[in-house]
Amino acid sequence: MKKVLLLGVALAALALNAPAQAELKFKPGEDPRFHWANYEDLKKVDLKGETLSIFGPWRGEDEALVRNVLEYFQEATGVEIKYSSSENYEQQIVIDTQAGSPPNIAVLPQPGLIQDLASKGLLTPLGDATGKWVAENYGAGQSWAALGTYKGKDGKSDFYALPYKADVKGLIWYSPDNFKEAGYTVPKSQEELATLEQKIIADGGKPWCIGLGSGGATGWPATDWVEDIMLRTQAPEVYDKWVTNQIPFTDPAVVNAIDIFAKIATDDKMVDGGAKAVAATDFRDSPKGLFTVPPKCYMHHQASFIPSFFPEGTKLGQDADFFLYPPYASKPELGTPVEGAGTLVMITKDSKAARAFIEFLKMPLAHELWMAQGSFVTPFKAVNKDAYASDALKRQGEILANATTFRFDGSDLMPGKIGAGAFWTGMVDLVGGKSAQDVATDIQKAWDAIK
């Protein structure tokens, strides 16, 4: 989801009670899905008497899941772990670091905020060796290594942030039963997708359900479309220049991507409810047309979280399934790009325990323990994919591991006034009838006005 709504208001800052081995969720050595040799290696790290403070974005269910993972590190090393979070964790980490009272470890999903912390000298470099390790061990590894690299206070680039826990965007959701009944097959390229769209229209159906409604954030689902299209029509270096304003929104490459989306979203034959329904439909309601009888639409573009809003009882892999928004067959040089998001782990207060924790995250076990609980995918190629809690998560993990390019959500990399402002409203104007060129011009004017 574009902007994760963090529920709850209380600040959780509770130490994990050192559990007996029998209290660990998966008993070490018993379940063959896990790399238990990693656990034995952890036992050789003596951190007794030390405390490791970790501040992260995970609350609610995710907090319970990550605590289950942290217990293994605590049990094996003897360290005392204090995990905390906050409803306003982005502001809190800035306050804590600038006040000189940071946690040992900070976990953040915003690269822009990480860059700001690094530029102020508030992060400890993890070293070139760790950056090289990421490049060699993650799918599209160079992309992930670049994502963890920032400029420090001296202006020098260094590797500061280890990616851990990813989210896959650019998924196309559909009903296998509807496809089977209509005789449709999953397209493997943009060219095949265009052919499928026309066949659905010829058969009297609507290819897409699209909803941009999201209260004050209305418009954000369309930014994901544009970002996906950019990665499939342009080299990743062009994408990088776009999100940093090295090339403007008015560049022909960007206008073309916006126009490709516009030709889908403003075509009444393409979208359930027609163009007028796109901005008016809440993004949480938009996929429901996949499950009506007869179906109101056959495909829905959204990230991995969207099944939370499917009708109750929907079974993934049976009632609903997904495929990656495909690349162009005519552009093989662009490979298989994947857009997504995720969290990055950094050291904000150096210590032996903090260093050991980063090494723990480089072990397959640290990923598998969360994979087996659900709500977790990783580009780490060495994990046992059988540890995934569901086939859907396993396939998303495979998408990450097999990607040739990974890029972080573009609007989240832009200044807030653009990525969470002018870009959103520009997409609403687009589906309201404004041309791609005019929308791009308006967004660029807003960017140029930032001091």
Comparing 413 with 7, the larger pLDDT belongs to: 413
Domain span at residue 287 reads 171-336+411-448
Domain shared by 198 and 252, yes or no = yes
- With beta carbons less than 8 A apart as the criterion, state whether 138 and 86 touch: no
State residue 151's pLDDT score: 96
Residue 16 has pLDDT above 90, yes or no: no
Tell whether the model's pLDDT for residue 1 goes beyond 70. no
Residue 203 and residue 71 share a domain: no
CA distance linking residue 417 with residue 153, whole number of Å = 25
Report which of 373, 346, 351, 381 is spatially closest to residue 71, judged by C-alpha positions: 373
How much is the pLDDT for 276?
93
Residue 135 within a domain: yes
3-state helix, strand, coil in the chain (%, to 5): 45, 15, 40
- Residue 2 is assigned to a structural domain of this protein: no
Using one digit for the tens of pLDDT, what is the confidence trace for 188-243?
999 999 999 999 999 999 999 999 999 999 999 999 999 999 999 999 999 999 99
Cα–Cα distance measured from residue 74 to residue 313, given in angstroms and rounded to the nearest whole number: 38
The predicted structure's pLDDT at residue 112? 92
- Is 404 among the domain residues? yes
Closest CA to 14 of 80, 102, 109, 105: 80
Residue 46: predicted pLDDT: 98
**Pair (160, 195) in one structural domain:** no
Q: Is residue 251 part of a domain?
A: yes
Q: Quick one: 105 and 178 in the same domain?
A: no
Please state the domain count of the chain: 2
Residue 1 lies in a domain: no
CATH number assigned to the domain comprising residue 23: 3.40.190.10
For residue 399, pLDDT over 90 is answered with yes
Average pLDDT of the chain is 94
Establish if 4 belongs to a structural domain. Answer: no
pLDDT tens per residue, range 283-303:
999 999 999 999 999 999 999
Q: Are residues 86 and 159 in the same domain?
A: yes
Confidence band of 451 (pLDDT split at 50, 70, 90): confident
User: Where residue 11 falls among pLDDT bands split at 50, 70, 90?
Assistant: very low
Res. 271: pLDDT tops 90:
yes
